[in-house]
Chains A and B, each alone.
Chain A
Amino acid sequence: GQNIDQPTEMTATEGAIVQINCTYQTSGFNGLFWYQQHAGEAPTFLSYNVLDGLEEKGRFSSFLSRSKGYSYLLLKELQMKDSASYLCAVRDGDYKLSFGAGTTVTVRA
């Protein structure tokens, strides 16, 4: 099975940077995803990492270290609309995707 840990809540001010960490344990790692979920809405895809290193997409970047079982999502130049839950998900083998409980980020003016 999976063991995916991420902080429950984080708060930051508009324009700041926030880093959301995710640690995981899996026997057959086959990719790590980050999703954003606004309250009452479906999750939407942010990033995918399968090799070690940093993937950058505009204001959002995601990092992976497979040897450490560790990833982070970096949100830069925070905006109010970034207030949401951020879900770390790890794929084990071909099909099984397991999600962390999510990190609720609150952006304050």
Chain B
Amino acid sequence: ETGVTQTPRHLVMGMTNKKSLKCEQHLGHNAMYWYKQSAKKPLELMFVYNFKEQTENNSVPSRFSPECPNSSHLFLHLHTLQPEDSALYLCASSQEAGGPDEQFFGPGTRLTVL
């Protein structure tokens, strides 16, 4: 595997379900990010982890809970979501947060909340 991978690619869940999104980067980067991309809206930064420490929480509701066990893996735990949370969730990584290096994005998880 190379680059940034995300699983699952598609997820349909009910509002009472609990699920997790997984992201893995094989680039040796130290920073990882979660973004939300809704139709017709700008890409929204959700969380930033730099060297496994959360450095940014962009006022995200507590029904989204990130976890970064090491620099290569990032999870987004989901519980009691709302239909308006349906979106494409993108993971990205970079050498470190705040540097000149670009972010490399994964293919995303298309989430539908019923």
Contacts of B43 in A (CB 8 A): 43, 87, 89, 99
CA distance A100 to B42 in the complex (A): 5
Q: With A33-B102, A50-B100 in contact, do A96 and B56 touch (Cβ < 8 Å)?
A: yes
Interface size on A, residues (CB 8 A): 24
Q: Which of A33, A95, A98, A101 contacts B55 (CB 8 A)?
A: A95
A109 is an interface residue with CB less than 8 A from chain B: no
Contacts of A60 in B (CB 8 A): none
**Looking at chain B's contact residues, is the secondary structure mostly helix, strand, loop, or mixed?**
loop
B100 touches A95 (CB 8 A): no
Identify which of B10-18, B69-77, B105-113 touches chain A.
B105-113
Contacts of A33 in B (CB 8 A): 102-103
User: What's the least CB distance linking A91 to chain B, in Å?
Assistant: 8
Chain A residue at smallest Cβ distance from B40? A101
Contacts of A98 in B (CB 8 A): 42, 45
Q: Which chain B residues have a beta carbon within 8 Å of chain A's beta carbons?
A: 33, 40-45, 48, 50, 55-56, 58, 90, 97-98, 100, 102-108
Closest CB pairs A-B (n = 7) = A45-B102, A94-B98, A42-B105, A99-B43, A95-B56, A101-B42, A99-B42
Given contacts A44-B105, A101-B41, 6 further A-B contacts (CB under 8 A): A33-B103, A95-B55, A95-B56, A96-B58, A97-B33, A98-B45
